[in-house]
A and B are shown apart, each in its own frame.
Chain A
Amino acid sequence: MNKPIPSEHDKLQSLYQQAKQPHKMPAALKRRLITECEARDKKPAAWRSWWQLSQLVMGCAAMLLLLSWMQWSPSADLYQIELAASADYQQVQYHRLVEPRAMLISQVGREERLQQLWQRQQEQLQQASSMHTRMAQLQQQEANWQLTICDELQLNLSKELVAQLQLGQSIQSYRGTQWVELELAANGQVLAIRATEQVLHCPHTKAGRRPIIRALAVAG
């Protein structure tokens, strides 16, 4: 059987392989690399745990950042207004305080944070130019307060909200029934309640309903 004639490529490859023989990678370099690899091999667990720890720390930091953003976000409203239907009033509103969901997670410094958030929201609303005042009749029903503006609006304040407004000296303590001036934000939120000597007249009171001005006169 004849030996196959080597191609030009095979000849070159053979020459190339022979050329490589005297130029091997220095043994000292190989040893250095293996030693380095062994040194790295001995501490993979430490490296991994360091990596995992750093990931955990970064994750926690991101979570805290998100939580603080949620807590201090202007959208985290404390004040809630609910509307209800009524045959006697054009609109009935229930005003109460709600705790933003993000704040429920941590109880640490909760009260302080709530107060700060309340204060900030109040300041923002008071700075707005669309603030307006309305005359209303105030009636206290146990701890809840009810304010009425003729047959236009009945406004019910929860006891927590009353307490909060009193804490900020936005309202005084009243007894019984009396006329007040309501300071309202553009979104209908009550900012302050002040006693007034003025009396509201309701010329378009629905027939059959007791006029508020008359009731006040009776109370007086």
Chain B
Amino acid sequence: MLSISLSWAGTLCPDQLMQHYQKTGASKWLDGLIQHCGDDLYHFLLRQSDPALAQDICQQTWLKVMEKRHSFRADSRFKTWLFSMARNALLDELKRQQRWLSSTCPEQLAQPEIECSQSWPVARQQRFEQALRLLPFLQREALMLQLEGFSVGQIASITNELDETVKSRLRYARRFLQARLGEHDE
């Protein structure tokens, strides 16, 4: 019976799962949500911090989902809500550890001016990951959220920024990545 329920839960989208979880509090719905969004969230946090902090913030965020399930508005998207809580928790923790300033860079640093004459790993995938690491915190954040499938408006909502600011960060980030990847694609 449980396996049938779980497989049925697996066919639902995160928003539907959250609605069920909100009503019942049953663990099978949370399990479904973690199956859907757990890896995405963890990876996002990992790229913005380190494995220990990513695990810690990830745990905090899912515990908040449990605690605040009644405050989730049915008309909003679950994944946006989840990432928003995680992002806030991460920033709070980085500020607490005084790692926030060192993690962020001004927008102009994203110009393709980083030395690239050294030998890069040959694999395009590795170059991409390397380039992603080199991006300033806020640009990497905007780009990763877009690659996670969020719209500009949703990214603005998650990051508490204006749409134009998000667009600007995305533009810089993409330009930087294109330059990095393009150099080696030739």
Which residues on A are within 8 Å of B, measured CB to CB?
A: 8, 12-13, 15-16, 18-20, 23-26, 29-30, 32-34, 36-38, 40-41, 44
B25 at the interface (CB under 8 A from A): yes
Cβ-defined contact, B147 with A33, below 8 A: no
9 extra A-B contacts, CB within 8 A, seeds A25-B38, A30-B38, A37-B27: A15-B125, A20-B40, A23-B43, A29-B42, A33-B59, A33-B63, A34-B30, A37-B25, A40-B66
Which residues of B have CB within 8 Å of A40?
A: 25, 66
CB closest residue in chain A, given B31? A34
Q: Hey, which chain A residues are within 8 Å of B164, CB to CB?
A: none
Interface SS of chain B: helix, strand, loop or mixed?
helix
Closest 8 CB pairs of A and B: A25-B42, A16-B147, A37-B27, A15-B128, A25-B38, A38-B27, A37-B30, A20-B43
B58 at the interface (CB under 8 A from A): yes
Q: Are B58 and A29 in touch, CB under 8 angstroms?
A: yes
The answer to whether B30 and A12 have CB atoms under 8 Å apart is no
Closest partner residue, chain A, to B30 (CB atom): A37
Contact B46 A23 (CB under 8 A): yes
* A38 vs chain B, min Cβ distance (A): 4
Q: B125, A25: Cβ atoms under 8 Å?
A: no
Within 8 Å by CB of A15, from B40, B42, B124, lies B124
User: Which residues from A are CB-within-8-Å of B84?
Assistant: none
Selected contact of A29 from candidates B25, B55, B174, B178, CB within 8 Å: B55
Asked if B144 is at the interface of the complex by the 8 Å CB criterion, the answer is yes
**Closest chain A residue, CB of each to CB of B173:** A12
Q: Is B144 within 8 A of A16, CB to CB?
A: yes
Q: Which residues of B, 1-54, contact A by the 8 Å Cβ criterion? A: 25-27, 30-31, 34, 38-43, 46
